[in-house]
Structures are given as structure tokens and as C-alpha cells.
């Protein structure tokens, strides 16, 4: 009888082809580079860096969805998220609910009615990685965790858009701590709509990965990069250490269960 150490086989995905990894890595790198360029850009260049940064992020996640879960998952995720986002954003602009009274200016590109076309793609960029994280952290309360991550992510991005006057808020109530541009209804609205979207996607989308599916490193990089770039931008470029501290602590605290789960590892990673 052999005394060699025996490690049970795990039910791991065998990964995607080299070409698929190169394509996914390239698009992710473009999205990250555009975020790096954001605080270094001005004028029209900043406008296009902002817009194409969101589109590149959305494309990254669509590709990861296809490579990880297949076309059925990806088509459903894209269709549901874009329709949901467009409807919520239209209601938000017209009524002020649930995010608070706000308007988008023309610097975010072409509008459909009063909502820039790029805005639903921001939701598309977030929905897939947040759903992946939420499903890993909790089977029964996926929608709550997913909504919390979406709310925390916007504590970083919304002050940037407001400071650049791409979104203009009308404050009639108290503002978010250290973020005077945003009413308290903003994070509350993101929590509510994020939970609703996560609940719908969790019910509609298959949970099984493809046999030859992409690893979750793309999701890990995207979610952790949000914290890194947010801290760097607010500390060294926007000179708002209080926002960096508040948003950074909130986001890191909420993301910690997912990071801890990834660090521990489990079959199927």
C-alpha cells in the first residue's frame, strides 16, 4: 500500500483556451488603463475616457460571462440587466425616486430620453461580478449581499461623476457622510435596486459553470481594483481623504466576506 500523500480531486473547471484568455485579459487591461487615465485626463479626453471606460468594463464582464457560464447565461444577463437599468434610471430621472432628484448632462454622450446610453452599461459592468461574489458568499441571501456591494461601489463612483458635473443632484435632505454632493437617498436607492436586480438575476441565471469555463480571477481583479483605484484617486488626485476613508472602509468591509472565501478556496474555484 502506498504511503504517498493523497489529495482528492476537485471538481474544477478546466479553463478556457489560450485565445479566450488573451481576449479577456486584453479587454480587462484596457478597462483598467482607462480608469488609470481618468484622474490624469481633462476636457474632451476625460469625457471619452469616462465613457469608454464604462463600455470596456461592461465588455469585460460580458466576455467573462460567456466564457464562464455560456451563451444562455450571458444573453439573459445582458437582456435583463439592460432593460432593468434603463427602466430604473428613467424612473429615477423623471420622479427622483429611488436615488433622489438628479439630472445627467450631455458629457456622458448620447441620451435615450433623459438617460445617457452608457449608464445601463455601468449596471452591466457591475451585475455579473457582483452576482458571482454574492452567490459565493450566501446561497439564501444572495440579493442582500449583492445589493450591499452595489451600494458600496457607488460610494466611490458617484462623487466623481457629481464633482465632474456629469450628474447633478438636488439636495433636499441630509447628504452622505463626507460626500456633500450625494443625498442619503442615493445609497439607499442603490441598495434597494441592487437587491432587486440581484434577486431577479439569481432566479433567472443558471448557476453551473461551463466544463471549460474561465476562472474567477477577472471578477477578483475587478472587485479589488475598485478599492485600490478609488483610494488612490481620492487620496492623491482629488484630495479628499475623508471620502477615501469613508468609502474605502465601507467597501472593504462589505467585500471582505467574498475575499475571505476566495482566500480559503473551495472545490470548483
Render pLDDT for 130-139 as a digit per residue (tens, 0 to 9).
999 999 999 8
Cα gap 237→233, rounded to integer Å: 5
pLDDT level of residue 31 (50, 70, 90 thresholds): very high
List of E strands, 16-174: 102-104, 111-112, 115-116, 167-169
Output the average pLDDT for the chain.
91
- Name which of 258, 205, 268, 199 is nearest 227 in CA terms: 258
Name the pTM for this structure.
0.91
What pLDDT is recorded for position 4? 44
Cα gap 244→12, rounded to integer Å: 38
Q: Beta strand 102-104 with 111-112: parallel, antiparallel or unpaired?
A: unpaired
**Is the pLDDT reported for residue 12 higher than 70?**
no
> Tell me: the pLDDT tens digits for 143-171?
999 999 999 999 999 999 998 889 999 88
Average pLDDT over residues 73-102: 96
pLDDT level of residue 58 (50, 70, 90 thresholds): very high
Amino acid at each position: 500500500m502506498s504511503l504517498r500523500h493523497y489529495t482528492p480531486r476537485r471538481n474544477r473547471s478546466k479553463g478556457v483556451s489560450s485565445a479566450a484568455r488573451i481576449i479577456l485579459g486584453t479587454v480587462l487591461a484596457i478597462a483598467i488603463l482607462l480608469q488609470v487615465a481618468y484622474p490624469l485626463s481633462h476636457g474632451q479626453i476625460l469625457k471619452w475616457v469616462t465613457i469608454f471606460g464604462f463600455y470596456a468594463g461592461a465588455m469585460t464582464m460580458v466576455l467573462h460571462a460567456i466564457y464562464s457560464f455560456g451563451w444562455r447565461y450571458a444573453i439573459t444577463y445582458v437582456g435583463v440587466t439592460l432593460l432593468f437599468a434603463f427602466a430604473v434610471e428613467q424612473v429615477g430621472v423623471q420622479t427622483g425616486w429611488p436615488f433622489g432628484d438628479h439630472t445627467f448632462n450631455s458629457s456622458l454622450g448620447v441620451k435615450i430620453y433623459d438617460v445617457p446610453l452608457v449608464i445601463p452599461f455601468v449596471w452591466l459592468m457591475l451585475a455579473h461580478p457582483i452576482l458571482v461574489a454574492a452567490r459565493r458568499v450566501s446561497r439564501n441571501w444572495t440579493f442582500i449581499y449583492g445589493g450591499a456591494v452595489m451600494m458600496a461601489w457607488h460610494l466611490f463612483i458617484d462623487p466623481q461623476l457629481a464633482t465632474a458635473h456629469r450628474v447633478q443632484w438636488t439636495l433636499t435632505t441630509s447628504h452622505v457622510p463626507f460626500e456633500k454632493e450625494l443625498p442619503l437617498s442615493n445609497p439607499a436607492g442603490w441598495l434597494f435596486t441592487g437587491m432587486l436586480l440581484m434577486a431577479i438575476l439569481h432566479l433567472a441565471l443558471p448557476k453551473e459553470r461551463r466544463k471549460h469555463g474561465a476562472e474567477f480571477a477577472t471578477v477578483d481583479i475587478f472587485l479589488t481594483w475598485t478599492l485600490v483605484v478609488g483610494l488612490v484617486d481620492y487620496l492623491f488626485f482629488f484630495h479628499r481623504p475623508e471620502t477615501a476613508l469613508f468609502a474605502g472602509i465601507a467597501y472593504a468591509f462589505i467585500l471582505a466576506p467574498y475575499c475571505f472565501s476566495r482566500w480559503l478556496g473551495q472545490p470548483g474555484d
